[in-house]
Amino acid sequence: MSMDSFLLDGQLRRFLEEDLEHGDITTDAIFDQETASARFVARQPLVACGMEQVAARVFCLLGGQLEFGQMAADGSRKDSGDVLLTVKGPVRTLLRGERVALNLVQRLCGIATLTARFVDQVQGLPVRIVDTRKTTPGLRMLEKYAVRCGGGGNHRYSLSDGVLVKDNHIAACGSISAAVERLRGRIPHTVKIEVECDTPAQVEQCLVCEVEIIMLDNMDTATMTEAVQRINGQALVEASGGVNLETVRAIAETGVDIISIGGLTHSAPAVDIGMDWI
Amino acid sequence: MSMDSFLLDGQLRRFLEEDLEHGDITTDAIFDQETASARFVARQPLVACGMEQVAARVFCLLGGQLEFGQMAADGSRKDSGDVLLTVKGPVRTLLRGERVALNLVQRLCGIATLTARFVDQVQGLPVRIVDTRKTTPGLRMLEKYAVRCGGGGNHRYSLSDGVLVKDNHIAACGSISAAVERLRGRIPHTVKIEVECDTPAQVEQCLVCEVEIIMLDNMDTATMTEAVQRINGQALVEASGGVNLETVRAIAETGVDIISIGGLTHSAPAVDIGMDWI
Amino acid sequence: MSMDSFLLDGQLRRFLEEDLEHGDITTDAIFDQETASARFVARQPLVACGMEQVAARVFCLLGGQLEFGQMAADGSRKDSGDVLLTVKGPVRTLLRGERVALNLVQRLCGIATLTARFVDQVQGLPVRIVDTRKTTPGLRMLEKYAVRCGGGGNHRYSLSDGVLVKDNHIAACGSISAAVERLRGRIPHTVKIEVECDTPAQVEQCLVCEVEIIMLDNMDTATMTEAVQRINGQALVEASGGVNLETVRAIAETGVDIISIGGLTHSAPAVDIGMDWI
Amino acid sequence: MSMDSFLLDGQLRRFLEEDLEHGDITTDAIFDQETASARFVARQPLVACGMEQVAARVFCLLGGQLEFGQMAADGSRKDSGDVLLTVKGPVRTLLRGERVALNLVQRLCGIATLTARFVDQVQGLPVRIVDTRKTTPGLRMLEKYAVRCGGGGNHRYSLSDGVLVKDNHIAACGSISAAVERLRGRIPHTVKIEVECDTPAQVEQCLVCEVEIIMLDNMDTATMTEAVQRINGQALVEASGGVNLETVRAIAETGVDIISIGGLTHSAPAVDIGMDWI
Amino acid sequence: MSMDSFLLDGQLRRFLEEDLEHGDITTDAIFDQETASARFVARQPLVACGMEQVAARVFCLLGGQLEFGQMAADGSRKDSGDVLLTVKGPVRTLLRGERVALNLVQRLCGIATLTARFVDQVQGLPVRIVDTRKTTPGLRMLEKYAVRCGGGGNHRYSLSDGVLVKDNHIAACGSISAAVERLRGRIPHTVKIEVECDTPAQVEQCLVCEVEIIMLDNMDTATMTEAVQRINGQALVEASGGVNLETVRAIAETGVDIISIGGLTHSAPAVDIGMDWI
Amino acid sequence: MSMDSFLLDGQLRRFLEEDLEHGDITTDAIFDQETASARFVARQPLVACGMEQVAARVFCLLGGQLEFGQMAADGSRKDSGDVLLTVKGPVRTLLRGERVALNLVQRLCGIATLTARFVDQVQGLPVRIVDTRKTTPGLRMLEKYAVRCGGGGNHRYSLSDGVLVKDNHIAACGSISAAVERLRGRIPHTVKIEVECDTPAQVEQCLVCEVEIIMLDNMDTATMTEAVQRINGQALVEASGGVNLETVRAIAETGVDIISIGGLTHSAPAVDIGMDWI
């Protein structure tokens, strides 16, 4: 499991530039060529994400001779006190990069950890927990990767790579069938059509239009169960809205194929990770 | 209260490019030149942030003729159901920009709202609630503005505009006095020196070195009270670590001048805001 | 039919910078504030593409007061001598932008025109002519739009928005079934799986794996016809390889759903368009 | 013969970003750390261009340990079946970079090959085949290099590095002499003045103005021959317009010094090159 | 006389970003929506450069409603106390842009003013004062324009648009003739060859090679006079090295065509211009 | 003493792109794979700045195998004839990078050298010579570093990292006290407030407002001496305006803490450094 480093570097550079502006005036005044060793330590149980491709890479971009020891594998479960990363290098590089590296991995591990909790809740059921486009602006690639590290899957990445007809589309266009008709023949044949439904009547329309994915939005579990039975394999069924750790298993038990959860990315609390000198 | 639009546009463009990639295939296939009116509605009580400079600007960047009606003032308190923004323009622009605009203002209003809760907790006390550098990578300017909208203040922005000698600096350098000595004469005279202290002994050293700001890190309130009395106005006193809505008032009552809270930006839950057609 | 201007401007700017480098030394030395009127004229029959969003926009980016008269609609068929665009503005802007504007629309109209010839060849048959990723580096968004202007459709845009298992994937992975198995559960549920097949045996494997799109690569029409009958609606069928204006109708008559043609973008000859003063 | 790698990398990165968007979902799902060896093979006779600085560099930018074996020298003539490049490295890198590398070298070798055909046609005559500014937007540096690989030369690169007074300049300015007069003293002394002439009368004016290069635009060979004799070494003579493989030798025999051909870059068909696993 | 605004904006933005970093904390804290009027006043005699395209543009980029009154024409001579620019607009915009605008125009007017002094010194002689590539990195387009505003001309802009064989080229290559031989046929026919000569013997070699421009580098005026007579119109003659306001007329009187002076750009003292509220 | 290379590379690249545009046509035509050794030699006494991080880095960015020998330490004093840098590498890299490297280090050493002359003038006095924001647009980080190499200090870097209430702020706001009142509570507690004073009355107001730094702008030394005595350690005192090598010692003797000099960066003459083949 990994991300494309080629695509990450530009982002990491921008994050460093944001925190460095014209340089680290504290560190530059105090230190010269000293080297040190440091480790990233989990201060709570978590699912690891980004030690190699994010944290270590941040230090590498800042330059100087660096040696990395341990690196927690992406997706591995760690306990409080576990070492996630060890690095030896110039003090100036370590202190310069510390905050950006921590800000990133605390957030990514937070998302992976929350995702894993949802996945654990639905263990044994044939359902997939996925994210949404409710990601932090500028961090989508990283956050969607963190969801995968937590055992989840990804919904479409952007407005470009998936078709989702939402309530506002339907309202502005007039009807589901009108919207779907315009889509057929205009979108690439490689992409499925998904429609957001608030009511059983809309589900019926989707079936008439032979939509490939039907999203049941904010339905109660009874309505969802009926919808799943009515759809009966003619489309993938996705549940969305009002999903939390308490409700997710009941939703999964309705038989839906996919449960999408915006909170995986917009509300995952950052986990606590510290950088200590060795 | 406002941000520098000149500095924001580049960021907003990147966020739109992230969500658009090569275009909105759903909206482009369904709509042509239709126009519509929409409003952003608070679905919970919140402190407003970013309606004009972020949400409205996102739509402007996408182009087309746009008219804005209401715009909740930054820093204003709003109830569930209140309208935060109304916009009339091309359906394509509204649907393209919806997610990016919402992702941003939900997060920013979340930070402003949480900050306001902390500020409310210390009402009447001569203390200032401030943020840290634990912001979301790429969003620092926006998030620090949201803290101000919530009634808080800002700590240093980056490694460039403030000196903070932290535990790792002290450990690597040997002592507080060694670090401060190297700083004097090397940093601009316009910047104050702040040192992070874990113990009363370190506070003593700071006083000897005539440090301008002393951070009391993770001390209990009894120790903090003593430190404040010992410092006795010779330096600004900042409390940090373990601050939450339950503990903040007690910390403020120790007499510290500033309380810095990483959680304002790294853990503020996004508030719920929806975009509805009018 | 249109492209997202928000996404185009950065590209058009780069193209202008390439041709301007540090300025137009000829025009700057000869002209000052003079204005003129010019028109783009088709010097051969063609399908129009890009007059408003590309050619006119190029002039707008260069600045000055501009008035546009006629603009040939994207996708409209024009004869030799037809006026495609009229523009009035500063001589310096018109001469500076002429070459970049022409270089772009000659290429885009060329692609639209070639696409239309293929589409004409298969008139009446239930098949769709689509492009590939064999586009000019840096021009994909524009070229894929030109294909749509010519009446064609788009295959996946990039490596991100569609799954295509090609010969080299199969060889490196061992088998179609091994590849598809790894894909299931790792790719977004919004994306279809397509597999490139060179033989009827591979088509059989695809059917076993329930692949959504089967590409018949470089097969003769007899083999294709058999494959279409064997697949019998269980997957979309795409023909690829060796498609030209002579062969395309016979290929379409095999019953395939989609015919993808790299030559639409990599080998469409530029059409002849001139810019004349009025 | 080579290009400046320093200037190429930014372009190659953009081309990769265009094709990768947020990653290669097919390859990432199927492969992990596997390595493989591949070769680029000419599927038709061609003049090589870009194996080292373009194709190999594309793979290098994507990262991972790579070994290159053969690399066809730029400008060398190759037959169908000849190996142009061999590379060993991560499967993920090879599959990610394949399309961008091929799209580029197929086009560049196409231009080099077409240029060589023109150069062959005029063998033995003291004339130089050169390109124009009718290049693909965004690819000028690469395409002009390909022309040199094919044995041609380059006309001016951009509007900045050469003066060319064209028909539209003359029309807007009033006369050749008026245009040249304004140019003298305003352009760098390092640059020659070239004027496009449609008639013998215009050639006369150029001689009066002591223009350094006279372009004979779209003249028949008889008129050109007369013009060359009239000019008689007082200026470099360039032929332009209506040049193709059938006409080029007759044009060269008129005695012109330079023949410029837009079709070298705007209409060179891509050559067929494949990437095969070894 | 003007520059290409299209090419300038990106530079001006970067300069503003350098000075603003994350915002103007002084001005933002003190002012809100106040407006004011300001003028740029010459505090010494100078040649104007950049009021419209640089100073006014800087304010425009920062946004807000702006009105400009007087703007000193580029190249006009102004006395101490003359108003160069008047602007009315938001206080925040005026204070934010003041320093960047002044830093630029003080430098540009300084270059224009120094150039004019050199041009004045050679009045009546058929010689042209030109700049070199010894410009401030990042400011070449602006500085070369300032030279033109002062009545000078431009030498080549970059390594791309002119050929100059310098001492280090000759030393590394072996001889002038070897260098020129390699250049013939490889460089565009639109570009002249210039060779730097330290001795009369090298001038002889240049004449043999039919070099178009001969640079006499650091020669005394007697040697220069002889060289000019020897060259006798077979090449343009450029004097370079050791040129200052005292020596320039004597150098011009040797009969050289061009005098290039690095000091025009690398050592022109900034002129004094102030921004005052009206 | 060093700069942050991470932050420099983007700038150096842009400077190289400015000088290279599409390549070095002279060097590319003459040389192939030849290597050579060169040295940078001081042609006048100077304080060294930028040999490693600027000059050597410029060559590294251009690529090829490079070996560096001597590198003058930043801040070291060198005589005419001293070698500042030796480098061995491809002739093409050395000739391509020569001008950009020299343009930069001649300017930076010029600033360091001038700064050192000011610092020498005030030897023995407890005062600090600092720069201003009157730097060359685009070169601030480099020029402020050069000031430090010359023994000076830095004033605030940008509008973001220091508060300076200037005459135009006071005029637009009404009074010093009004301005300072608005600043208190709005700016980060880490930043000091500095106010520019033209008169003793303004100094009084600053003392009332408890401003941390008082700038005495363009005062005569008698007035300054009185002001210093009046301030009596209640604020840092900075002298500004009319400072030159003749006046600086007298100003320092007034007892001010800091002397800021715009001329350090806007008017330091470039020093003479040459690149010679070895």
Residue in C254, C226, C234 with CA at minimum distance from that of residue C242? C254
DSSP A191: B
State the smallest CA–CA distance between residue C156 and chain A in angstroms: 6
- Residue B22 to residue C7, Cβ atoms within 8 A: yes
The answer on pLDDT for B63 being more than 80 is yes
pLDDT at residue number A76? 98
CA B36, CA B27: separation in Å to the nearest integer? 14
Catalytic residues of A: 99, 134, 166, 196, 217
E37-76 residue pLDDT tens: 999 999 999 999 999 999 999 999 999 999 999 999 999 9
Give CA–CA dist E234/A95, Å, rounded.
65
The reply to whether residue E62 touches residue B160, judged by beta carbons under 8 angstroms, is no
Q: With beta carbons under 8 A apart, name residues in chain D contacting C23.
A: 159-160
Nearest of E128, E118, E113 to residue E48 by alpha carbon? E113
Question: In F, what residues contact B, Cβ < 8 A?
Answer: 128, 130, 153-157, 160-164, 185-186, 188-192, 194, 213, 236, 238, 257-258
Give the number of C-F residue pairs with CB atoms closer than 8 Å: 3
pLDDT at E199 over 90: yes
Mutate to test the interface with B, among F3, F128, F159, F189 (most CBs of B within 10 A): F189
Query: d(Cα D136, Cα C100) in Å, to the nearest integer?
Result: 9
With tokens 């011009």, the residue in question is E252
CATH code of B120-266, in short, is 3.20.20.70
What was the pLDDT predicted at F188? 96
Q: Which of C134, C159, C168 to mutate to test binding with chain D, by most D CBs within 10 Å of its CB?
A: C159
- Which residues of chain C neighbour B61 with C-beta distances below 8 Å? 6
Q: What pLDDT does residue F4 have?
A: 87
DSSP string, A28-78: HHH-SS-EEEEEEEESS-EE---IIIIIIHHHHHH-S--EEEEEPPTT-EE
Mean pLDDT of chain C: 96
- From chain F, the residues in CB contact with B147 under 8 A are none
Average pLDDT, chain B: 96
CA of F28 vs chain C CAs: smallest distance (Å): 19
Helix (H) or strand (E) holding E26: helix E25-30
pLDDT at D2: 81
Shortest alpha-carbon distance between residue D71 and chain A (Å)? 24
- Token pair belonging to A157: 């990445």
- Asked if A188's CB is within 8 angstroms of C190's CB, the reply is no
pLDDT tens for F14-43 read 999 999 999 999 999 999 999 999 999 999
| DSSP result, D178-234 | HHHHHHTTTS-TTB-EEEEESSHHHHHHHHHHT-SEEEEES--HHHHHHHHHHHTTS
- Write the CA distances from B10 to B57, B133, D162, integer angstroms: 11, 21, 35
Residue D217 has pLDDT above 90, yes or no: yes
CB E99 within 8 A of CB F133: yes
C166 catalytic per annotation: yes
Contact C161 A190 (CB under 8 A): yes
Rounded to the nearest 10 degrees, the angle between the axes of helix A5-20 and helix D5-20 is 110
Q: How confident is the model at residue B186 (pLDDT cuts 50, 70, 90)?
A: very high
Interchain proximity C21–E160, CB inside 8 Å: yes
In the set D39, D117, D134, D156, the catalytic residue is D134
Q: What is the CATH number of domain E5-114+269-277?
A: 3.90.1170.20
CA distance A5 to chain E (A): 27
What residue ranges in F104-192 does DSSP mark as E strands?
128-130, 163-165
Q: Do the beta carbons of residue B258 and residue B122 sit within 8 Å? A: no
Q: In this complex, how many residue pairs, one in chain B and one in chain F, have their CB atoms less than 8 Å apart?
A: 79
Report pLDDT for C242: 87
User: How many residues belong to chain B?
Assistant: 278
Q: Enumerate the domain spans of chain F.
A: 5-114+269-277, 120-266
Cα gap D131→D263, rounded to integer Å = 8
The segments of chain C whose pLDDT lies below 70 read: none
Predicted confidence at residue A101, as pLDDT, reads 98
- For the CA atoms of chain D, what is the radius of gyration? 22
Quote the pLDDT of residue C2. 81
In chain A, which stretches have pLDDT less than 50?
A: none
Residue pLDDT, tens place only, D13-68: 999 999 999 999 999 999 999 999 999 999 999 999 999 999 999 999 999 999 99
- Runs of H (alpha helix) within A84-132: 91-121
Out of D39, D77, D99, D192, the active site residue is D99
Catalytic residue status for D9: no
Percent helix / strand / coil, chain B, rounded to 5: 45, 20, 35
Active site includes C134? yes
Q: What is the pLDDT of residues B211-265, one digit of tens each?
A: 999 999 999 999 999 999 999 999 999 999 989 999 999 999 999 999 999 999 9
Strand-pairing partners, residue E83, are E41
| Facing D26 at nearest CB: one of C96, C136, C169 | C169
Hey, are the CB atoms on B4 and E21 less than 8 Å from each other?
no
CA distance E113 to chain A (A): 33
* Average pLDDT taken over every residue of chain E: 96
pLDDT for F268: 93
Res E125: pLDDT: 98
Instruction: Show Cβ contacts of residue D178 under 8 Å, excluding neighbours closer than 6 positions.
Output: none
The residues of B assigned a catalytic role are 99, 134, 166, 196, 217
What residues in F contact C21, CB-CB < 8 Å?
Answer: 21-22
A22: CB partners within 8 A, 6+ apart: B160, E21, F4, F7, F140, F141, F157, F158
Under 8 Å CB pairs connecting chains A and D tally to: 26
CB contact under 8 A, A22 and F158: yes
E166 catalytic residue (yes or no): yes
Contacting residues of C for E5, CB less than 8 Å apart: 63
The answer to whether the beta carbons of residues D266 and D101 sit under 8 Å apart is no
Predicted pLDDT of residue E118:
98
| CB proximity list for A87: less than 8 A, separation 6 or greater | A37, A38, A39, A56, A59, A66, A67, A68, A69, A94
Show the DSSP H helices in A167-269 as ranges.
Answer: 167-173, 176-183, 200-209, 221-231, 248-252, 263-266
Name the average pLDDT for chain F.
96
- Per residue in C73-118, pLDDT tens? 999 999 999 999 999 999 999 999 999 999 999 999 999 999 999 9
- Which of E190, E238, E257 minimises the CB distance to D191? E190
pTM of the model: 0.97
Q: What is the structure's pLDDT at C5?
A: 87
E6, E140, E157 ranked by CB distance to C62: nearest: E6
Give the chain F residue nearest A62 (alpha carbons). F6
Q: Residue A188 is nearest to which of C154, C186, C188, comparing CB atoms?
A: C154
pLDDT level of residue F108 (50, 70, 90 thresholds): very high
Residue E1 has pLDDT above 80, yes or no: no
Which of A30, A35, A57 is the best residue to mutate to test the B interface, defined by the most B CB atoms within 10 Å of its own CB?
A: A30
Neighbours of chain C (3+ CB pairs under 8 A): A, B, D, E, F
Active-site residue set of F:
99, 134, 166, 196, 217
What is the average per-residue pLDDT within B108-115? 98
Q: Which residues of chain B have a Cβ shorter than 8 Å from any chain F Cβ?
A: 128, 130, 153-157, 160-164, 185-186, 188-192, 194, 213, 236, 238, 257-258
pLDDT at residue A20 in the model: 97
- Residue D6: CB atoms within 10 A of its CB come to 19
